[in-house]
Structure 1
Amino acid sequence: MRLFARLIILLLSLSAAACATQPPRFRDEAAAKLDQLKLEGGERLRPAEYASVLQAFLKGDAYLMESEQEEADRYFQMTILKGDLLAQEVAAEKARRLAEAARLAEEQRRAELERLARLEEERLVKAQAAEKARREAAEAERRKVRPVAKEPVLVASWTVRRGESLPLIASRPEVYGDRNLWPLIYRANRDQIRDPKHIWPGQVLRVPRNAGRDDFAEARRYAQDHPLH
């Protein structure tokens, strides 16, 4: 009888020891949750919350070391619950940061477009101003008063130079400015010109100034009929 009782006690002790060595139900899931949070950036994005989850897991391990499996599982379950909440917060924070990055990128894009638009507007204004200045300069140049040629001083006499002829003298601006009016000079100086084809340097010839329109017309006809070659 005593032997049987001892066997029962031994079996119960072995059964209790076997139960004590079995791992808690929720430790692996809690450990996986911690790893997932770390991979998703929970430690970086929510350091305080991640530390709270880790602390719950470490307490579970501490109870497990003391063979208090039930209490350990309670902390491992707490680790899982806190981990789920933190995972939601991390996802929301990532979404918020993505939205903020997109908003900043859009603002930068709009700012760049506005800057380019201002530069283009400034370029157009400068180009228009330059074109206006060019047109005004061209108009001013067009309207600029040209220097008026001085009217030649008409002479009443002419001293013959070497190589000159009556048509050449008549063509001088200060004489008549018309070579075909040479007969006027010839007729006024018949006393010293026998042949209109021959004049000599040094001769002082009178230049008539009282000739009228008819005299000019008649002189031109005479010059055409009696060309001097």
Structure 2
Amino acid sequence: MARYVITGSTGDIGSAVHKMLKDHEIITFSRSRQPEYSSTHHHLDLSKPFEEDVLEDALSDIGVLDGLIWCPGESLYNLIQDTTLEEVDAQYNLAVRSLVAFVRVLLPKLRKSASGRIVVITSVWGRNGASFESIYASMKGAQEALVKSLAKEFSATDITVNGVAPGVVEGAMTDLLSDSDRAFLMEELPQSRFVRTEEVAHAVCYLLDSKAGSVNGEIMNINGGWYT
């Protein structure tokens, strides 16, 4: 049985990942909701700065960790001139600062695993940019750079660092779209359907597997051929 930390565990993708890994020992983090599946759960608002000792206290009884799966995400759809700096800070904290804090605290525990894994859920927009979502896309792009950099930095260890970049995933974010926006997207998507959360979770589980040890610094595109 492996031991994994899942952040954003109550979101659509995080919950799908949790479901596939529910037979392992899972430690989860979310802002307010409880996860659907069994875990040792902690509430932490990742969109706000926090001190590393909060994490160290929460995980003090964990010696060896096999993987960190970073799933939190919050859409921000707006023109840049209408986006507040507070919203920018929240996106930065959620996508970058909190991720860095977790990596720093968990690194000694991941080093003790025979196959330590870090998997970050990024986005198609981090690969290609997105009008009206420039801040969200920028932070996802920063995640990609961090993934590739840490993969090099940890290459002499048994830790791999990879990302998964989903396209349009069915769930809470797409539920917010108007009928016309959903119809427009369907026309754009080669498969004429949204990506299913379990498809993203399956990619995560592959990257966690010990047989994926030579996959490092990669960003897996799960977008149904939608290369914008």
* Shorter-chain TM-score tier: under 0.3
TM-score (ref. length: structure 1): 0.19
Larger Rg: 1
Looking at both structures, which has the greater relative contact order when contacts are Cα pairs under 8 Å and sequence separation is at least 6? 2
Greater strand share, structure number: 2
Greater helix share, structure number: 1
